[in-house]
């Protein structure tokens, strides 16, 4: 085992703790065994669980048979409730009882573990070239997009320590509004500029003086940023600025290391105060929850929100309530609002990937045959066959699976005459609201773990939301001068990561305090003294140090990524 300084400290600190729940993991269980002339590889897999219904376990489970027959892989599990997952996984690494594979982590956690020496990198040859082990996983993206994924997901040493999953949504969020009310008031389309939005809201307020015009969608209690998302983008600030802090302007190419103390942030706060003073924006911007928002829908007490495009049918349903004949239609708009029409308009382009894929513990590369076996299994999850199995399970007329001993009454889906999969009656179907997750059969419960789902099978994805999000993305893409923020590769070394974390905690607390004060009217962004006090207070808790770290890491990472991309292109051209 490779131990860094922090790993030794963590081990010493954790040595006094009892970890009986983890004693089955660790290097002693990293093994291979012979059976009927075949070599099989055994692994411990750490995964969190979201519900209490349980999973099929043991060698007789369908999933266990499939992966043993296909890949000579046998998985044993350390299933941890989601709320305990991070703490227990950290502890397992600290005491040397970690699983071979962990799934469910997020990228910052994976990169932290990589820096501390807990993970082995994915071998570069596993994802380089046309016939690499991970070729189907790699093919989930275009070659250009895959290079971007690598640049973002790699750690500070230029190594990839986990397998990202495909983000199938290209765009999900937009302004949504009561089209029936707009039609009634003669408002022909959703506004395109901040000034137009203000005028439209004033017109609606005149007709409905006691109503909330722009409502928060009920997520303000979990993230203040979700309450002001549409306004952020109007002022060319990323939607996820509360977590990202920094961005590169897609038109000018300028790097902004801390957006919410910038001049454009000040203009955004001024505008929201203007809307607030006119009674056009939600007074419960940061306090209303999902139930409160649903109550507003039922009482015709909101007309505009920033939300997911696929929620409008649910909004219409909740607004109609028990009156199916009620005149009500929520619609989504292809117009994003901008404060800078001469420059263009910003919309949210979803990331190229999600960070829930598997990571592999330090030492797994000591037996490359064993490592390659599990990589081959995960690569299968990215194939069409793997996607279909992970999403739908076992088809009734599949003779190969019948040989594996699947009971006749346990087939989960069938193919219609057009070749599309559908769950059999009695199975939970995410795309079918008439099925019940608590009552119907679940693939995890009946078959065992489905492993990492790098991509949801396309027919299922389209049935859930795919067609709606694709329509939104196409609408945004068709608009002239519409831009989005690209993700920025940021690779911190261990010291920078710790300093970043410490500064972020202090800055977030002070930032959120002032956001509340800006919206309550306690401080006024129009007042120079108030704004300067905000900047001064942010500087006192480390703003300038944070800016210095962000700028240093950005410039260094940018140079490293350019070198890596050139090297990969040269290597692939040489094959």
Residue 22 binned pLDDT confidence (cut-offs 50, 70, 90) = very low
* pLDDT at 396 (0 to 100): 76
Residue 535 binned pLDDT confidence (cut-offs 50, 70, 90) = very high
Quote the pTM value: 0.88
pLDDT at 37 over 90: yes
Instruction: List phi, psi (to 5°) of 220.
Output: -65, -20
Lowest mean pLDDT among 296-300, 394-398, 476-480, 484-488: 394-398
- Tell which residue, 153, 149, 77, has the closest CA to residue 114: 153
Residue 429 binned pLDDT confidence (cut-offs 50, 70, 90) = very high
Highest mean pLDDT: which range of 184-198, 396-410, 484-498, 560-574: 184-198
| Rounded average pLDDT over 127-151 | 95
545 Cβ contact list (under 8 Å, min separation 6): 499, 503
348, exposed or middle or buried, with CB in 10 Å at 0-12, 13-18, 19+?
buried
- Tell which residue, 417, 416, 359, has the closest CA to residue 392: 416
- Tell which residue, 79, 77, 60, 70, has the closest CA to residue 40: 70
Residue 518 to residue 284: CA distance in whole angstroms: 14
* pLDDT at 12 (0 to 100): 39
* pLDDT at 491 (0 to 100): 93
Specify the residue for token string 């030492």.
363
pLDDT tens-digit profile of 218-257? 775 555 555 688 999 999 999 889 888 999 999 999 999 9
| Rounded average pLDDT over 486-511 | 93
pLDDT tens-digit profile of 284-329? 877 888 898 999 999 999 999 999 999 999 999 999 999 999 999 9
Lowest mean pLDDT among 141-155, 209-223, 228-242, 259-273: 209-223
Complete DSSP assignment for 389-425: HHHH--BTT-HHHHHTT--GGG--EEE-TTS-EEEPT
Q: What's the distance, Cα to Cα, between the start and end of the chain in Å?
A: 35
Residue 297 to residue 315: CA distance in whole angstroms: 7
Residue 358 binned pLDDT confidence (cut-offs 50, 70, 90) = very high
- Tell which residue, 72, 70, 84, has the closest CA to residue 38: 72
Specify the residue for token string 């990561």.
497
| Rounded average pLDDT over 512-533 | 92
CB 482 within 8 A of CB 473: no
Task: Give the E-state strand segments of 324-389 in sequence order.
Answer: 330-332, 345-346, 353-354, 359-360
Residue 157 to residue 544: CA distance in whole angstroms: 26
519 vs 179: which has the higher pLDDT: 179
| Rounded average pLDDT over 103-107 | 82
pLDDT at 534 over 90: yes
Strand partners, 34: 39
* pLDDT at 11 (0 to 100): 38
User: Which secondary structure element, helix H or strand E, spans residue 368, and what is its range?
Assistant: helix 368-382
Residue 42 to residue 67: CA distance in whole angstroms: 11
* pLDDT at 338 (0 to 100): 98
Residue 333 to residue 200: CA distance in whole angstroms: 14
484 Cβ contact list (under 8 Å, min separation 6): 250, 346, 347, 348, 349
CB 71 within 8 A of CB 375: no
CB 245 within 8 A of CB 550: yes
Mean pLDDT across the chain? 88
| Rounded average pLDDT over 404-421 | 77
* pLDDT at 452 (0 to 100): 64
């Amino acid at each position: 085992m490779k131990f860094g300084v922090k790993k030794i400290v963590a081990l010493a600190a954790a040595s006094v703790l009892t970890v009986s729940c983890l004693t089955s993991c660790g290097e002693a269980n990293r093994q291979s065994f012979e059976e009927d002339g075949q070599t099989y590889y055994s692994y411990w897999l750490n995964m969190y669980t979201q519900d209490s219904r349980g999973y099929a376990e043991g060698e007789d489970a369908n999933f266990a048979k499939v992966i043993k027959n296909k890949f000579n892989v046998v998985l044993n599990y350390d299933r941890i409730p989601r709320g305990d997952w991070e703490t227990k996984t950290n502890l397992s690494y600290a005491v040397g009882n970690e699983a071979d594979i962990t799934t469910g982590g997020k990228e910052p956690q994976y990169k932290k573990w990589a820096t501390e020496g807990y993970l082995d990198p994915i071998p570069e040859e596993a994802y380089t070239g046309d016939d690499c082990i991970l070729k189907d996983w790699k093919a989930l993206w275009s070659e250009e997009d895959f290079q971007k994924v690598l640049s973002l997901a790699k750690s500070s040493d230029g190594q990839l320590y986990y397998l990202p999953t495909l983000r199938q949504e290209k765009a999900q969020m937009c302004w949504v509004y009561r089209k029936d009310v707009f039609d009634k008031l003669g408002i022909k389309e959703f506004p395109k500029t901040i000034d137009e939005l203000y005028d439209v809201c004033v017109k609606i307020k005149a007709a409905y003086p006691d109503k909330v015009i722009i409502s928060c969608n009920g997520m303000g209690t979990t993230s203040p940023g979700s309450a002001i998302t549409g306004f952020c983008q109007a002022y060319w600030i990323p939607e996820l600025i509360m977590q990202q802090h920094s961005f590169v302007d897609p038109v000018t190419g300028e790097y902004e290391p801390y957006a919410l103390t910038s001049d454009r942030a000040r203009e955004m706060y001024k505008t929201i105060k203007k809307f607030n003073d006119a009674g056009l924006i939600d007074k419960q911007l940061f306090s209303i929850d999902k139930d409160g928002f649903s109550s507003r829908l039922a009482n015709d007490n909101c007309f505009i929100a920033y939300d997911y495009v696929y929620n409008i049918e649910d909004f219409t349903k909740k607004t109609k309530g028990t009156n199916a004949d009620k005149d009500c239609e929520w619609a989504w708009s292809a117009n994003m609002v901008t404060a800078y029409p001469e420059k263009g308009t910003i919309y949210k382009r979803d990331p190229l990937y999600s960070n829930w894929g598997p990571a592999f513990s330090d030492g797994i590369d000591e037996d490359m045959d064993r490592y390659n076996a599990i990589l081959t299994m995960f690569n299968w999850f990215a194939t069409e066959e793997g996607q279909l199995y992970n999403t739908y399970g076992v088809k009734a007329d599949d003779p190969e699976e019948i040989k594996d001993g699947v009971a006749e009454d346990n087939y989960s889906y069938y193919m219609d005459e057009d070749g599309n999969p559908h769950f059999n009656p009695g199975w939970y179907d995410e795309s079918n609201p008439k099925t019940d997750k608590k009552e119907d059969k679940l693939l995890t419960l009946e078959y065992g773990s489905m492993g990492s789902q790098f991509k949801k099978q396309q027919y299922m994805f389209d049935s859930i939301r795919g067609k709606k999000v694709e329509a939104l993305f196409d609408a945004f893409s068709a608009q002239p001068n519409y831009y989005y923020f690209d993700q920025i590769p940021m690779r911190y070394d261990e010291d920078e990561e710790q300093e970043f974390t410490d500064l972020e905690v202090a800055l977030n607390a002070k930032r959120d305090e002032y956001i509340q004060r800006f919206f309550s009217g306690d401080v006024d962004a129009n007042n120079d003294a108030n704004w300067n006090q905000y900047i001064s207070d942010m500087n006192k808790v480390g703003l300038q140090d944070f800016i210095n770290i962000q700028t240093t890491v950005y410039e260094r990472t940018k140079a490293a990524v350019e070198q890596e991309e050139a090297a990969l292109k040269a290597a692939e051209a040489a094959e």
